Structure 1
């Protein structure tokens, strides 16, 4: 047995403490479709028509989105998603400690930080049910949703893997990864928490929300560098971009049907995902930057969005 597992196991009380972290996630139904939106090109150098994607849940199957829409390839999309999300659903296997629940999956909501190879690092309390479960059986899945989640037309990924406590000499390193991601340590006193890592990722299942459904190659995922804008462009970038572009985008997207609200919820080098509200209904719209333009910085993102808005009308073909 791993030394740290031994220490933690000795410290765990065997009481049947219930956790408030029990959380259920909707099944990943794939009832959605996409339709194309084109905006006429202005006098810019791009030429041709601009295409975007509009997703909405409907009954029926999924049509495949094409590469024409400037989406990152699935492995990179997952890597970007892992950078931009802060929370996830962790599903562990209930241990023998829990009698009648033994062997059932246990879902809990956790925060995490990816390391440089995209492996998630966690900060767990020794008293949490998921911590006890992992010490008995390291197998788990982690379900990560795009920030600003608003329904089954949104991107999400499931990582299958094995989570172990990090050795004593890596605890400080893990803490630094955490601070970099969350700008703060774990919500409770750091002394009560212990850092774990998904040491092995065995499989990655990605639902991109644009008709993209893929098993992602783990080695490709581990070796890819995420888009710089996705790493840097956390809540602060999106807050700043929304302050400038939320109203113009709302106006742009209202050309065919009235849109009540538009907010950028994620950004990568090729485009941005915008959450569109019409009354009580939310949909996600993908707007691609100009072909051949790779956005890396906040200033480049502002310039690319200004260009798109300057070009004018977006024809929303969703009826």
Structure 2
């Protein structure tokens, strides 16, 4: 049976994973075995992955060892070391580059009750989400300075009251994931944008619109006022 392993990878221009493996590793030997045909599956988890409620995607295909000519021609060494700048082992003689050259299937799970398959050709023709370039600072700003707005949006759009804490943990052009604390439990929820965002300005506009709509809800306003009063009382105590 083939063995599983935790590996690093980089993506080429078509979104196909490129690896740098030691010839002594068991997973490398499995890929090179004459009866395997290089069949492999790569499961990539979302940043901050904790469990079944978090997103992951599995790429299934044939992984082939790259020739020295291919490594040079396609700049695979530079590609990998750009993604993994501390990968000094990439220059060792017993390490070789591999690439998933033929993608057979793409399986996506976005969390509970959110799963599906993506056609390989659709995956290879897509582009990187434009929001990823600035998602981290936007989420940091929301979590540091506007956590009450996030609580308001969760209550208004999801219909979930009594949320004590809410933090953005993932942001993309279609919406964001929120980690909530409520009645002693911590879990994650997805809030979609009313329309797709293509820029940082779009994200700000959409969040402001959603916040204003949420704060117009009298029940939301009342809950936030009570929550603020509790926090002030706790600080005084």
TM-score (norm: length of structure 2) = 0.72
2:90 is aligned with 1:190: yes
How big is each residue's C-alpha offset from its partner over 1:36-76, in whole Å with a ceiling of 9 and x where there is no partner?
A: xxxxxxxxxxxxxxxxxxxxxxxxxxxxxxxxxxxxxxxxx
Match of 2:26 among 123, 129, 149: 129
Report which structure shows greater RCO (CA 8 Å, sep ≥6).
Answer: 1
Q: Give ranges in structure 1 of 5+ residues lacking alignment.
A: 1-102
Q: CA deviation at 1:249?
A: 3.6
Structure 1 residues 156 and 299 mapped into 2: Cα distance closer, same or farther (>3 Å)?
Answer: same
Higher helix share: 2
Matches within 5 A, 1:1-319: 103=1, 105-136=2-33, 137=36, 138-172=38-72, 173-180=75-82, 182=83, 184-192=84-92, 193-209=95-111, 211-230=113-132, 233=133, 237-247=134-144, 248-249=146-147, 252-253=150-151, 256-265=161-170, 267-278=171-182, 281-291=185-195, 294-313=196-215
Structure 1 residues 220 and 242 mapped into 2: Cα distance closer, same or farther (>3 Å)?
Answer: closer
Q: CA deviation at 1:210?
A: 5.2
Query: Contact between 1:142 and 1:160, CA under 8 Å: does it hold in 2?
Result: yes
Tell me the distance in 1 between the aligned counterparts of 2:20 and 2:86. Answer: 7
How big is each residue's C-alpha offset from its partner over 1:4-50, in whole Å with a ceiling of 9 and x where there is no partner?
A: xxxxxxxxxxxxxxxxxxxxxxxxxxxxxxxxxxxxxxxxxxxxxxx
Structure number, greater radius of gyration? 2
**How many residues are aligned here?**
203
Structure 1 residues 127 and 116 mapped into 2: Cα distance closer, same or farther (>3 Å)?
Answer: same
Query: Contact between 1:150 and 1:282, CA under 8 Å: does it hold in 2?
Result: no
Q: CA deviation at 1:186?
A: 4.9
CA RMSD of aligned residues (A): 2.8
Q: Give ranges in structure 2 of 5+ residues lacking alignment.
A: 156-160, 221-237
Q: CA deviation at 1:240?
A: 0.9
Secondary structure of the residue aligned to 1:306 is: helix
Structure 1 residues 275 and 179 mapped into 2: Cα distance closer, same or farther (>3 Å)?
Answer: farther
